[in-house]
Chain A
Amino acid sequence: MYRGKNITKIRELLDKKVITKEEVFEKATSLAHYFQDEYNSFVTILDKVKIKDSDSLLSGIPYALKDNFSTRGILTTASSNILKDYVPVYDATVYKKLKKAGATLVGKTVLDELAMGGTGTTAHTGVVRNPWDKERMIGGSSAGSAACVALGIVPFAIGSDTGDSVRKPAGFGGIVGFKPTYGRISRYGLFAFASSLDHVAICSRNVRDAALVTDILKGQDPLDMVTLKSENVKYVDTLNDDIKGKKLFYIKEVCGKDFYKDTNDLVLKKVITTFHDMLDKCRDKGFIIEEVSIDMDLLTALYPAYMCISCAEATSNNANLTGIQFGPRGVGNTIEEIIFNARTEGFSELIKRRFVLGSYILQKENQEKLYLNACRVRRLIVDKITELFEEYDGMIAPCSGGVAPTFDSRSEKLSARYLILENHMVMGNFGGFPSITIPYTMIDKLPVGLNITGRVKDDALILNIAQKIEELTGLKDIYAKVGEIDV
C-alpha cells in the first residue's frame, strides 16, 4: 500500500484520507528498520517526527537526508569517526525548506566517508549494499540515499554530488538522480568537500518527482553566496513541453557504437548496444541525435584533473576537523598532540591518502604542473562542451560501462575505459551543468542508467527531455522488490 509509491501517489492517499501522515511516517520507518541490517542505508533512523501543517505537495511525504547535511539536534556524522558523536546546532537550508514544506525526515543516510568516494564501502558504520543484488555495490558517495529510494522505503532522498556522487549510485540503483545547475540549490549546512564542484542533488523514482522536489529546494540563499536568483518557473509545470526537434549529442570516445567493438566484456557490449537502441527510440520520438568527437587526450585527462582539484579543495575544507570545537577529542598534553591524535584516529586510511595527495598537489613546487594544469583541463573541457551546447540542447551517455560492480571487483585505473566511460559525468560538475540520470535498461536483472546533461541554467529543459525519454524506457517508478514486508 505504501512501499514503492511515488510522491504523487502518496499525496493522493493522504489527500483522500486513505492514510494519515503519521501512518505514512510509521510505514516508512518500519521499512527502514526492516532493511537496515541487510542493506545498511541509514546511520540514524528517526522514531518520532513533528509533522508541520503545510499546503505544500510534500506535506507528509517521507524522505531521507544524506548524513553530511547539518540537522539541528540530530546526529550528523558524514560517515566518519571524526564526527561520530557530532550533533549540529543549526539546520542546513535544504533541511529547513523541507521541514517548512512539511516533508517528514525518516533518517540520515550512509555515505562514503566525508563524501569522498564512489563505492559506498567506506562509511564508519559499514558498507551499503545494492538492493538489486546485495553482493554488489550501489556506488557512492550518496550510497544510502540511493539505496533507500531503490528499496522503496522513501519516494525521494537528498544527496550531494561533487563528481557523480548522486548520478552514479542512481544509475546502479535503477532510480533517478538529478543534479541541478551549480548554485540552483543552497549548500548552506552541507559539509564542504570540494566547494567549486559541490552540488545538492536529488534521488527519486521518476523525473516528475525530481522536478517537484527541486521546485521546493531551489532559490537564492544569503547564506550560500553562489546561489542563483530564483526563477519564476516551476519545473514540474514545464515537463510536458514539446521536445520535437531538440538536439542531443553523444561523444564517440565515451559511447560510440564502434568504439568498444573489440572488447571481450559482454556486459559493456550490451550497455553500448542497448544505449544505441534507446537513442533510436528517442529519434522516433522526435529527437535529433548526433555523434561528436572530442580529443581523447582531453577526455582521458578528466579523471586525474578531477582528482587533483577535488583532493586539493578537500584538504583545506576539512582542516576544521580537529576534535577541539566538535567531534571526539584526541588524547595528549599539548594542543598539537590532541589534534594529531584526533585526526589520526578519526580519519580512515583512504581519507588520509586523499588529503596527502591534495597537500602534495598544493605544494608550491607542484602547483603549476598538477593543480593549475588540472584547472586548465577543466577550462578546456567546459569550453568544449559549452561550445557544443550552442548547437545542441543536451549531451547523452550511459552512466557507466557496466552494471553495479561486485565488492571484490577491481578497476584498471589507467585504462581508457576507466578514465573516460566510468568518469565522464564529472563534466557536469566541472561546468556546473544540470545533469540527470534515469534507468533505461536492465541487464542480467540489474538496472543500467543513462545520463543527460545540458546548458547552465537550462534545468527545466533537461528535466523535460529526461521525462520524455523516461516514457520510452518502461522503467519509471521501478524499485527492488526484495524482502517479505507488506506495508
Chain B
Amino acid sequence: MIDKEKLEEYASKLMFKMKDEEYKTLQEEFEIILKQMELIGKIPNIEKVEPMTFPFKNTDVNLREDEILDYLTVGEVLENTKHQIDDQVKVPKVVDEDV
C-alpha cells in the first residue's frame, strides 16, 4: 500500500489539503488502480509499443500566423475578480520584505 506521507506530498504539490478519512479512500483507490495497471504490465512485449498520445495523425492542422489580436479588454479581465486596484488584479505581496 502507498503510504499516507507520500500521498500528502503529492497533494501538497498540487496545492490542496485532504482530510485523514479522504486519504484512506484514496489509498483504497490506489490499491485497485495499481492492481488494474498490473494487468497492463502483463501484456507481452508491451514495452516495445510506441506510446500513443493523440487519437490519429491529423493532416489538417494549419498553424496560424503569430499575430497579435485583442481578445479581452482590461475591463473584461477585471470582471471576474473582486480584488482589484486601479486597472489591475490585486494579489498579496509575493516578494518578501527581507529579500
Contact = CB atoms under 8 A, between A and B. Distances in A.
Interface of A: 86-87, 89-90, 182-183, 196-197, 220, 222, 225-229, 297-298, 300-301, 303-305, 307-308, 315, 322, 324-327, 329, 332-336, 338-340, 343-344, 347, 349, 352-353, 355-357, 359-360, 363, 369-370, 372-380, 382, 413-414, 419, 429-432, 456
B60 A228 contact: yes
A324 B40 CA distance: 40
The 3 closest A-B pairs by CB, nearest first: A432-B55, A375-B51, A304-B36
B55 A222 contact: no
A394 B30 CA distance: 35
Given A356-B14, A360-B10, 18 more contacts: A196-B53, A226-B61, A300-B39, A301-B39, A301-B43, A308-B37, A326-B80, A338-B91, A352-B14, A352-B22, A356-B7, A356-B18, A359-B10, A369-B41, A373-B41, A378-B52, A382-B55, A432-B56
Contacts of B80: 86-87, 89, 325-327
Interface in B29-53: 29-30, 32-33, 35-37, 39-43, 46-47, 49-53
B51 A379 contact: yes
From B25, B26, B36, name the one whose CB has the most chain A CB atoms within 10 angstroms.
B36
Interface residues of B, number: 56
A182 B40 CA distance: 25
A332 B47 CA distance: 46
Contacts of A379: 49-52
A349 to B, nearest CB: 5
Contacts of A315: 14
Contacts of A419: 36
Given A228-B60, A304-B39, A430 B55 contact: yes
Contacts of A359: 10, 13-14
A89 B81 CA distance: 12
B60 A335 contact: no
Contacts of B91: 324, 335, 338
Interface of B: 2, 7, 10-11, 13-19, 22, 25-26, 29-30, 32-33, 35-37, 39-43, 46-47, 49-56, 58, 60-64, 71-72, 76-77, 79-83, 89, 91-94
15 contacts: A86-B80, A182-B55, A229-B60, A300-B39, A305-B40, A326-B80, A326-B81, A332-B92, A338-B92, A340-B17, A357-B33, A359-B14, A380-B49, A413-B32, A429-B55
Provide the main secondary structure of the chain A interface: helix
A343 B33 contact: no
A356 B11 contact: yes
Nearest to B94: A335
A352 B29 contact: no
Given A340-B17, A377-B46, A379-B52, A90 B72 contact: yes
Contacts of B72: 89-90
Contacts of B35: 414
Contact of B55 (A334, A373, A431): A431
B36 A377 contact: no
Given A89-B80, A298-B43, A353-B26, A304 B16 contact: no
Contact of A377 (B10, B40, B58): B40
Contacts of A352: 11, 14, 16, 18, 22
B46 to A, nearest CB: 5
B43 A377 contact: yes
B37 A340 contact: no
A332 B36 CA distance: 40
Nearest to A326: B80
A353 B29 contact: yes
Contact of B37 (A182, A183, A325, A370): A370
B44 to A, nearest CB: 9
Contacts of A325: 77, 80-81, 89
Contacts of A89: 72, 76-77, 79-80
Contact of A334 (B42, B51, B52, B92): B92
Nearest to A456: B56
Contacts of B56: 182, 382, 431-432, 456
A222 B89 contact: no
A373 B37 CA distance: 9
Contacts of A347: 16
A90 B22 CA distance: 36
Contacts of B58: 183, 226, 228
A355 B41 contact: no
A378 B54 CA distance: 9
A360 B30 CA distance: 10
A352 to B, nearest CB: 6
Contact of B60 (A183, A297, A307, A373): A183
Nearest to A307: B33
Contacts of B62: 220, 222
A342 to B, nearest CB: 9
